[in-house]
Amino acid sequence: MAAAWGRRGGSALLRGALGAAPGRACSTGAPVRAPTATAQELQSSGRGRFLLEHAAPFSAFLTDSFGRQHNYLRISLTEKCNLRCQYCMPEEGVQLTPKSELLTAQEIITLARLFVKEGVEKIRLTGGEPLIRPDVVDIVGQLNKLEGLKTIAITTNGINLARLLPRLKEAGVNAVNISLDTLVPAKYEFIVRRKGFHKVMEGIHKATELGYHPVKVNCVVMRGFNEDELLGFVEFTKDLPLDVRFIEYMPFDGNKWNFKKMVSYKEMLDTIKQRWPELEKLPCEASSTAKSYKVPHFQGQISFITSMSEHFCGSCNRLRITADGNLKVCLFGSSEVSLRDHLRSGASQEELVEIIGAAVSRKKKQHAEPALMSFPLRQDALQYPPNSKQCGHTSSHWPTLRASLSKQMEKALLKNKLPGQLILPVSHPEQQCYIRTRILQTQMRGFCVFQKDTSSTFDTKCLEASPVGQVSADCQLKEASPGSEFCTRDSASCSEVPRASDNLTHTDEEGRATMVDVGGKPDSRRRAVAGAVVRLGEKAFGMVRQNQMKKGDVLAVAQIAGIQGAKLTSQLIPLCHNIPLSHVEVSLSLDEARCAVVIHCSCQTWGKTGVEMEALTAASLAALTVYDMCKAVTHDIVIEEVKLLSKTGGQRGDFSRA
């Protein structure tokens, strides 16, 4: 261990000697340390050659099992905040950790020195609100003395920035991020539940006056609150050296909002490009979390933090220390290691490095996104392996396949507001075979029974006679039978709705399953509405109504599951076409009389085939998600009345359930 420690120290010394980490960007006026020697001087000296030959490339303790090198450390100075942002903290605040359990200034410096010796080059001070900590300037000054540290940054809400920034700059802060979600004073007060808009603006201008370039402005974009200000924020960069960073809204556990509030990066970019089509993409570093753009001739630029729609786990180089001294290797991860306890128990530097290295080595390849820990499908669909003869692989592959599918489903569910079609990311044919087979089996076993008399024609009367509780849907609704007449809704030249074929359209002449060719059909506007009811019982219903389920907001997650289900229908129902949906709407309401959740789903498209199956899949997956999130309270849950309520468009005419 001692040898490894010595090599790390030698590597840190080499970085300083080469001038790679001697000081900080001079544009802010912060102190800059002069390099002690050039690369040529090192090569010509015996000491330099020794360092070049023996220095470690990067600390093994800060390199995880996926090769990611962590040279960026975020340190929370306090849990306290002088604002109560609606997307961040409840109005009454949060229960604070006793002061005795928080890191002291000396403990912060001790841990920071340890990380810098191991290769950390950037430290960001966060909170809560870091500028309400009385000794923040002193902490910055001590950090500024750490050899090898390139950047000291601070993230603040800006309330105290104008007053403290001159002293912070002198102490060594050379990068500033300021949180501002609106340019409208009244809206600012509503979002943060406090006054202070003009103080934040004063802080932004003070930062530009002091030479910070760029001044980063963090804006969390929320649908229904500030997405209408995107253009205003871009205009804000015209005459000021700002980097306005639009952050996708992230629904953390304590959050009372829901997924409808998220505006995706692509949607924001499309809105901005409509106003400034000349918007230019800027190059970025591999470890950057931002996608940066610039309007030509503007002083500043804009960036997008795509934490929800396009995560950046693969290049993550960040570690975090909480205010009470816990090391978090992933913002979304639940695992923490208390460095404070080890520090106070007298652990040596070598022991602390071992503890840190062990935590970093356990870092996962990708974070588990909050509030969506399971894909909204019936759990038994992932419990049993499919028939190996059906899918062509042995049961020995099943544990790995099941785990892989579960993770991919979680990932797929999060892509809930992106335009276009989302394809379930499966990479193996057996996964495709399995997912279609098991979901179909699960639906049939659970509640889906449809009987058809092949000797009779199939029309809307047959649909109206379908018993409640069954999925009254047949893929024949979506396709035109060969040789039948075609009649559009607006056509006056056709007096009757053609009947479906007496033969199944999804089988070939030999009785094998096949997709219907709709290539010759004309496009038309299609819409379908489906519904479902989930009876929960009094106890579970009360917990859903009060939003007290441990898994999160049942109605919000089920809504997104339904939307996602509609977009994934062709992946779940084998013979359905992949339809470019123009709109999906899923609403859930509470029926107190029945202690039930009532689900209503509508889908629209302009295309060659209908969207009944998409609407029914949305209703089914939303219902199954409600079941999944409530089953820990009771298993006496009944899913019923899954049915098509109406459809419009297509050659068979409109349908509306009485």
The span from the CA of 62 to the CA of 50, in Å, is 24
- Other C-beta atoms within 10 Å of 239: how many? 11
Angle, in degrees to the nearest 10, between helices 197-209 and 185-192: 110
Which listed residue (243, 628, 636, 654) is catalytic? 628
Do 75 and 112 touch, CB atoms closer than 8 A?
yes
3-class state of residue 251 by DSSP: coil
- Kindly report the three-state secondary structure assignment for every residue of 292-313: EEECCCCCCEEEEECCCCCCCH
Give the integer Cα–Cα distance in Å for 3 and 485: 84
Alpha helices in 549-641 (DSSP H): 554-567, 569-572, 612-630
Instruction: Measure the CA–CA gap between 149 and 30, rounded to whole angstroms.
Output: 13
Of 577, 584, 594, 565, the closest CA to residue 514 belongs to 577
The pairing of strands 583-591 and 596-607 is: antiparallel
CA distance 340 to 325: 5
Residue 229 region by backbone torsions, left for phi larger than 0, else alpha for psi between -120 and 50, else beta = alpha
In what order do the strands lie in the sheet containing 280-281?
280-281, 290-294, 301-305, 242-248, 215-221, 175-179, 151-156, 122-126, 72-76, 318-321, 326-328, 337-338
One-letter amino acid at 528 equals: A
Task: Based on the residue annotation, tell me whether 243 is a catalytic residue of this protein.
Answer: no
Instruction: Copy the structure tokens of residue 379.
Output: 């759990």
**Residues classed as catalytic:** 628
